[in-house]
Amino acid sequence: MKTIRVKVPGGAYPIHVGKDLFDQAGAILSEAGFSVPPILVSNPAVLRLHGCRLLRSLQASFGRVPRVVIGDGERYKSRATLSSIHEALFRAGADRDSWIVAFGGGVVGDVAGFAAATFMRGIPFVNVPTTLLAQVDSAIGGKVGINVPQGKNLIGAFHQPRAVLSDPAVLRTLPERELAAGLYEVIKCAAIRSVPLLDFLERNLEDVLNCRPAPLEHIIVAAARIKAGIVAADEKEKDLRVILNFGHTIGHALEAATGYRRFKHGEAVAWGMIGAIGLGTALGFPNGQESVRLVQLIERVEPLPSMRDIRFEKVWAALERDKKFRGGIFRMVLLPRLGEAAIRSDIDPQRLRHFLKRFLQRGGDVQAAVPIPARKSSHAGK
């Protein structure tokens, strides 16, 4: 088991990464100071596949563990789901000494974490992520919240977990599309902070997609370290932490414009990264060959859902409601070069409108985003 510590002002917490962590969860969390039974929040698919092992471990240490089952999918990251968790906590007799275990992907972690942040003005929670995207991104850093029709994550809080337990072995049960969605977030981490991680992904992509244990654990630990370091330096996203939003400005708008049904979160981020690369090229960033390299890696992972027939007006309206749009100014993360992100607050809205409209009209054609020379098929060697 490898452990990374997230050192935030309110106190450090561990990210444990290793095989068979579900079987060790009760002992690990008991040693961390928990003594009463947690309330487990999960979804039916995760409970069916992995619930027995985790519950057995938790019950051995804490006794009977009440369960709250929520829907599976981004559309369940909602006010209705949040309210259902609160009601279940009251039915279970929860109080200020209670705590939550969020057992699932990013939706479960975000909405269960927000329930913990708001119940009795805040109770502890632990993330046990079961998707690659959650293990490398959403389970770390304390951003919790829900979506509303106006946009993604517009209602939420910063509420750090007390621990994160990530078992790479669980990822073998993920559908290919879900695994790919998480891998786009790993690519994002590499793009903004680590050329060595990008090199590793290029060399070992097939092994990662086939869930080979060693390379899979390597990328989870590497991405977790990147995010832990950034969160420690800027817990509340005042400056540096914004770079984790590379690809998210356009990506979140695409999710909102399509009702959170067309794209997995990581897929929308992948399109958002391609769009951000194209915008950077349009603004004159001298990173042509590096941009080609990043787009080619994104393309190698999995075919992305189509962007055709998405109305520009809906995407633009979602952008204007984004948390990164302030006082008529867009803050976007762009890449002057690989491994080095830049937060730009000087983007002309009209220029962004023109670029984004063209990008959507061409269905996200990467040629519209960045000039790419002739190359082999995106999925050669898969």
Question: Which DSSP helix (H) or strand (E) runs through 373?
Answer: none
Name the catalytic one among 162, 227, 300, 324.
Answer: 227
**Nearest residue to 251 (alpha-carbon basis) of 226, 227, 277, 225:** 277
- Active-site residue, from 143, 188, 225, 264: 143
The C-alpha atoms of residue 353 and residue 22 are separated, in whole angstroms, by 47
Q: Which helix (H) or strand (E) holds 190?
A: helix 176-193
Three-state DSSP at 151 gives: strand
Among 77, 248, 264, 324, the one annotated catalytic: 248
Q: Are strands 332-337 and 329-330 parallel, antiparallel or unpaired?
A: unpaired
CA distances from 217 to 165, 168, 190, 205 (A): 13, 6, 15, 13
Is 50 catalytic? The answer is no
Q: From the candidates 159, 162, 252, 324, which is the catalytic residue?
A: 252
Cα(112)–Cα(173) distance, integer angstroms: 22
298/312 Cα distance (integer angstroms): 23
In terms of phi and psi (left: phi > 0; alpha: psi -120 to 50; beta: otherwise), the region of 93 is left
Is 265 considered catalytic here?
yes
Q: Say whether 237 is catalytic.
A: yes
Contact at 8 Å (CB) between 274 and 295?
yes
Q: Say whether 143 is catalytic.
A: yes
> Quick one: CA torsion of 283, 289, 290, 292, rounded to 10 degrees?
90
Which residue from 347, 303, 298 is spatially nearest to 183, judged by alpha carbons? 298
Q: Is residue 159 among the annotated active site residues?
A: no
- The structure tokens listed for 71 are 């829907």
Please list the active-site residues: 121, 143, 185, 227, 237, 241, 245, 248, 252, 265
